[in-house]
Amino acid sequence: MLLLQTSIPVPKDIPLPFPAPEWFLVTILIISFLVHIVFVNLMLGGSLLTLWCQIKGIKNKEYDTLAHEIAKTITVNKSLAVVMGIAPLLTINTLYTVFFYTANSLTGLMWIAIIPLVTVAFLLTYLHKYTWNTFSNNKPIHILIIAFACIIFMIIPLVFFTNVNLMLFPEKWGTIKGFMSALLLPNVFPRYLHFIFASLAVTGLFLFWYVGRKNYDFESIFNQLTRYEVKKKAYSLVLAASVSQFIIGPIVLLTLPSKGLGWNLILVIFTGAIISLPAIFYMYKAIVGKPENINKNFKIVVICLTITVVFMGSGRHIYRANTLNPHIKMISEKTQSFIKESEIARQESAKPQTAVSDKTDSNKGLEIFEQNCAACHAKDEKVVGPPIREMQTIYSNNPSGLKAWIKAPGKKREGYPQMPAFANKLSDSELNQLSNYILTIK
Amino acid sequence: MDIPLFHLDWLNNRMLIAIIATLHALINHSLAVGFMPLVTWLENKGVVNSNPHEITDPKWDKMVYKMMWTAFIITTTIGAMTGVGIWFSVSLVSPNSIASLIRVFYFAWFVEWLVFVTEVVLILIYFLTWKNANKTLKAKTRHIKFGWYLSVFSWVTMAIIVSILGFMMDPGNWNNEQSLINGFTNPLYLPQLLYRTPLAMVLAGTLGLFLVSVFTNKGDTIRIKAFRYIGKWILCWLPFAVAGAVYYFNVIPKTMLANLQVAIGTQSFQQWYDIMWKVIVGSSIIILITAIITVWKPQIMKSYFLAITLVFALGFMGLFERVREFIRKPYIISEYMYSNLLREEDYPLYKKDGILKWATYNSTPTVTNENKVEAGRNVFMLACSRCHTTQGINSITYVFDRMYGNTGKPFKEDMMKSYIKNMHKSREYMPPFPGNDLELDALVAYIKQLQVTNEVLEGAQEVGVAINKDQSVEAFKSQFANKETQNESQNNLVKK
């Protein structure tokens, strides 16, 4: 067992060049991934908020309305989350082919289970959205629907984290036995927690904007709740989630295996964290300040937090690059040497082994028979097709009849599969040699 | 062999892809490519046929909205997720082939993605603004315009993906010129598109009829009107779909014969090909009858009959996808990579050294008498498991037993060996056996054991992987250290 653990594989890469310069693919990966993840955040955060509001709405009808309003956004955000996920998926497949596919494969059942699970979760969100009136007198059932969707939405990121984490550690690949063992690698859960809180923060910010839009007719939807109240709650959520990240963030950093840590990473992450401070300050001021000032500095908050997210996304990539670059170098050298070995073997095999012209007709017949017929026909007994003895009885002294059959076999007999035609595979002289040979086998 | 092999020993790996991909193609054709123009056309009919003081006929509009609601729910859940599912399942089952395609087709897929994003945004706009758009005629007209844009983008999404599919089937191109243009210029591209487009319209029509029968009551005037419109829609497209099918299936064997030297006499292909023709003719007749009844005698049309028609229409397409899949064999990427994920050009190396030596993940780099069966299992995983299982669909013991006449007798080693060595010559859909003679012995020993033990082959997702010592970091380093000392000694010689 110990031996297995110390072994680190050096697989070969796909022996084809990248379709674009690496920096280009990396840029696409970072940006498209962040766009994807923002919509995933909104989908997950939106579902959790809906659930929370609806539970609160059992006592206070206003919150049930708020839940309905948030629920309407989930089904849009989830569609965008899926479609925006394609570009980063395509790009990570290109850049980290062997690493990503290996992680997928080792956790294969859970990985493919994402497809039916997410489909079910999506259908549940629609069911929830379109049965608001149907279940108005049966709230527990209605809440159960969104609760199930939430559970699935909470599981899916865990599968993704397990995979992108596993791909970083080739030294662990030999020890993984299915999804659960990959899930229990030390830094999966801290990263997951980090993501969940980010989802809440992003959703809070989204809600703040959503209810504040000019053409959003807040007053005709709600009776008691005011825009200010909802906005204040949304900001409080963002603030609480952001501050929590200052505790979770360091834990994530500490649990990351040291091999990818470097000053470049620390610098990027700390810069990102510092940039979020003004946003936290302004949100705090808005929450404790006067109601009419709540919208002040919203743009600055959004800009600062966006920059933070970009820095964190880049940090994530830097860690990945730091971790994998030495291995990628080995893999590419290995791939090159394999291509060379393959080339040498190809040239060797292309050299003619024995001069064909030296052979007698009957030798050639034997060779053709061995290569084309022996798989199905034996001398005395039925294998796939009838034995040679039977052919000899049917076609004794009639090689041209046998030849015609081989070229285009007739209808198969009972209990025998159809024989393939050899008209296009063997030349006329080869067919002659073959039929003569078959009839002379002793 | 450089990526741990995921394996489903009962369902069969290819079946996993087939289920997801067929479901996706059916939804894509019947509910997106064909359905969007149908819905937009019907929405427009509502406006055209309404009373002068109304923007649209509200009852009619509500029915069309419900049809769109169905399409929206299904396409944005099952449709979207099976699309992603194709990626997921292919990358699990056939990682080397999809990775190679992505390296070449990255920008094709990127453009496809941009078009797809547009399509999704348009479908969100089109569906979610439907009710608001009913307030003014201007908004309604604009809404209908969005429907047409959506239709165009749905079609373009399909037109691009057909190019990528076509490329994979087009022999020779991979080795000459690896570019997207080849996808569009290959001989199967236009026939496929000319077939798929009208077929999508027909499928959408049969589905549309069924939905109308669900969303309206018997005897409703809008029901009869809708039946008539959709019936005419089908009658317009059906001839093109049949013509497209005939054209396409005349091109397939020619391309195959010209480029692959694969005789279409191959029995299983011939069987599928024959069944497919019967189904195409049968479904076309049923669709035709349904369409004619809905146009001339809409009042007698029943829901269940429409459901049957729909099933046949979907079967029409499902079988077609099966045959398309078949003609790719023995390759997964024409003349470049076999369906066992090994590149044709690496075969001489594998024949010389054996595949086990070069496989990153296996417990037996060399075959010995002691590890024979285990080595055979590893060979099976590397060379056979992409298409064959040990106990499930298309299992290896089943195919051998069938070939030897369903006797159930123990397989004969020598016969199996000489068969496996030469099978690609008589069974053109099989790739040549890639390994050396020792590995062939091991494989045969394993298959013979399978015949008596019924043991199950577990994939990397369950039992993980064993790392081949020859392909580990340690081996890599020592190899490198050797090279460097060689270089150094050479340098020293030069210095002296």
Indicate if the pLDDT at residue B333 is higher than 90.
no
pLDDT confidence tier of residue B178, bands split at 50, 70 and 90: low
List CB contacts (< 8 A) between A87 and chain B.
110, 113
Are both A111 and A203 inside the same structural domain? Answer: yes
A349 assigned to some structural domain: no
Minimum distance, in Å, between the CA of residue A385 and any CA atom of chain B: 9
Residue with tokens 């146009």: B295
Mean pLDDT within B101-122: 91
DSSP B161-201: HHHHHHHHHSTTHHHH--SHHHHHHSTTHHHHHHHHHHHHH
List CB contacts (< 8 A) between B20 and chain A.
115
Do residue B476 and residue A10 have CB atoms under 8 angstroms apart?
A: yes
pLDDT confidence tier of residue B259, bands split at 50, 70 and 90: very low
Indicate if the pLDDT at residue B344 is higher than 60.
yes
Do residue A421 and residue B404 have CB atoms under 8 angstroms apart?
A: no
List CB contacts (< 8 A) between A82 and chain B.
80-81, 84
A147 assigned to some structural domain: yes
% of residues, chain B, pLDDT over 90:
59
Cβ contacts below 8 Å, chain A against chain B, sum to 254
Q: From CA B273, how far away is CA B45, in angstroms rounded?
A: 41
- A221-to-A51, A66, A131, A217, B69 alpha-carbon distances in Å: 19, 9, 18, 7, 24
Boundary of a domain, candidates A315, A340, A365: A340
pLDDT confidence tier of residue B260, bands split at 50, 70 and 90: very low
Do residue B81 and residue A122 have CB atoms under 8 angstroms apart?
A: yes
pLDDT averaged per 10 residues, chain A (length 442): 63 93 95 96 97 96 96 95 96 96 97 98 97 93 97 97 95 94 91 96 97 92 94 97 95 88 92 96 96 93 96 94 94 94 92 61 82 81 83 87 85 70 82 89 80
pLDDT confidence tier of residue B247, bands split at 50, 70 and 90: confident
pLDDT the model gives residue A184:
93
Which residues 137-176 on chain A approach chain B with CB closer than 8 angstroms?
173-176
Alpha-helical (H) ranges within A226-297 are 227-255, 263-288
Residue A379: give its domain's CATH number. Answer: 2.60.40.420
Which residues 357-416 on chain A approach chain B with CB closer than 8 angstroms?
370-372, 374-376, 378, 382-384, 415-416
pLDDT the model gives residue A286:
96
Are both A310 and A415 inside the same structural domain? Answer: no
C-beta neighbour count of A344 within 10 angstroms: 13
State whether residue B263 sits within 8 Å of chain A by CB: yes
Which letter does DSSP use for residue B471 in this model? G
Residue with tokens 């509001």: A53
Mean pLDDT within B352-380: 95
Q: From CA B147, how far away is CA B119, in angstroms rounded?
A: 11
State whether residue A180 sits within 8 Å of chain B by CB: no
Are both A210 and A238 inside the same structural domain? Answer: yes
pLDDT the model gives residue A378:
81
Are both A312 and A372 inside the same structural domain? Answer: no
Do residue A10 and residue B472 have CB atoms under 8 angstroms apart?
A: yes
Which site among B70, B73, B84 would you substitute to test the A interface, given the most A Cβ atoms closer than 10 Å to its Cβ? Answer: B84
A348 assigned to some structural domain: no
Are both A295 and A375 inside the same structural domain? Answer: no
Least confident span in A16-30, B111-125, B129-143, B410-424? B410-424
Give the residue, B304 or B335, on which the prediction is more confident. Answer: B304
Nearest to B100 among A14, A85, A114 (CB): A14
Are both A246 and A278 inside the same structural domain? Answer: yes
Are both A367 and A314 inside the same structural domain? Answer: no
C-beta neighbour count of A22 within 10 angstroms: 11
A71 assigned to some structural domain: yes
Do residue B2 and residue A12 have CB atoms under 8 angstroms apart?
A: yes
Q: What is the mean pLDDT of chain B?
A: 87
Residue with tokens 């001021």: A285
Q: From CA A30, how far away is CA A62, in angstroms rounded?
A: 40
Do residue B267 and residue A420 have CB atoms under 8 angstroms apart?
A: yes
Asked if the bond preceding B239 is cis, omega within 30° of 0, the reply is no
**How many helices (H) and strands (E) would you count in chain B?**
21, 2
Q: From CA B414, how far away is CA B440, in angstroms rounded?
A: 11
Say which amino acid occupies B154.
Answer: S
Say which amino acid occupies B62.
Answer: K
State whether residue B427 sits within 8 Å of chain A by CB: yes
Are both A336 and A386 inside the same structural domain? Answer: no
Are both A104 and A170 inside the same structural domain? Answer: yes
CA proximity to B55, closest of B148, B128, B142, B149: B142
Q: From CA A298, how far away is CA A282, in angstroms rounded?
A: 8
Minimum distance, in Å, between the CA of residue A105 and any CA atom of chain B: 5
Which site among A101, A122, A130 would you substitute to test the B interface, given the most B Cβ atoms closer than 10 Å to its Cβ? Answer: A101
Q: Tell me the sheet residues that pair with B337.
A: B333, B343
Which residues 2-41 on chain B approach chain A with CB closer than 8 angstroms?
2-6, 16, 20
For residue range A380-409, list pLDDT tens digits in order: 877 778 888 888 888 888 888 898 888 888
State whether residue B434 sits within 8 Å of chain A by CB: no
Q: Which residue of chain B is at minimal alpha-carbon distance from A96?
A: B99
For residue range B418-451, list pLDDT tens digits in order: 889 888 877 778 899 999 999 999 999 999 999 9
Which site among A36, A72, A78, A83 would you substitute to test the B interface, given the most B Cβ atoms closer than 10 Å to its Cβ? Answer: A83
Minimum distance, in Å, between the CA of residue B332 and any CA atom of chain A: 15
List CB contacts (< 8 A) between B481 and chain A.
none
Which residues 95-134 on chain A approach chain B with CB closer than 8 angstroms?
97-98, 101-102, 104-109, 111-112, 114-116, 118-119, 122-123, 126
Query: What's the complex ipTM?
Result: 0.92
First to last CA, chain B: 45
A70 assigned to some structural domain: yes
Nearest to B425 among A16, A330, A372 (CB): A372
Are both A245 and A295 inside the same structural domain? Answer: yes
Q: Which residue of chain B is at minimal alpha-carbon distance from A84?
A: B117
pLDDT the model gives residue B262:
40
Indicate if the pLDDT at residue B257 is higher than 50.
no
The domain spans of chain B are 13-338, 344-465
State whether residue B346 sits within 8 Å of chain A by CB: yes
Which residues 74-113 on chain B approach chain A with CB closer than 8 angstroms?
76-78, 80-82, 84-85, 87-89, 91-92, 95-96, 98-100, 102-107, 109-110, 113
Task: Note down the domain range covering A411.
Answer: 357-440
Do residue B99 and residue A101 have CB atoms under 8 angstroms apart?
A: yes
State whether residue B73 sits within 8 Å of chain A by CB: yes
Minimum distance, in Å, between the CA of residue A133 and any CA atom of chain B: 17
Indicate if the pLDDT at residue B261 is higher than 70.
no
pLDDT the model gives residue B188:
77
Rg (CA), chain B: 28
Tell me the CB-side half-sphere exposure of residue A129, using CA atoms within 13 A: 19
Are both A267 and A124 inside the same structural domain? Answer: yes
Are both A289 and A234 inside the same structural domain? Answer: yes
C-beta neighbour count of A410 within 10 angstroms: 9
C-beta neighbour count of B484 within 10 angstroms: 10
The first and second tokens of residue A119, run together, are 């489909």
A346 assigned to some structural domain: no
Whether the Cβ atoms of residue A434 and residue A369 lie closer than 8 Å to each other: yes
For β-strands B331-333 and B337-338, DSSP reports them as: antiparallel
Q: Tell me the sheet residues that pair with A370.
A: none
State whether residue A217 sits within 8 Å of chain B by CB: no
Indicate if the pLDDT at residue B66 is higher than 70.
yes
Boundary of a domain, candidates A340, A369, A402: A340
Number of domains chain A is built from? 2
Nearest to A19 among B107, B467, B469 (CB): B107
pLDDT the model gives residue A65:
96
Q: From CA B251, how far away is CA B244, in angstroms rounded?
A: 11
Q: Which residue of chain A is at minimal alpha-carbon distance from B361?
A: A9
State whether residue B421 sits within 8 Å of chain A by CB: yes
B337 sits in which H/E element: strand B337-338
Say which amino acid occupies A320.
Answer: R
A345 assigned to some structural domain: no
Do residue A109 and residue B80 have CB atoms under 8 angstroms apart?
A: no
**What is the b/e burial string over A201-210, where b = at least 16 CB atoms within 10 angstroms of the residue's CB?**
bbbbbbbbeb
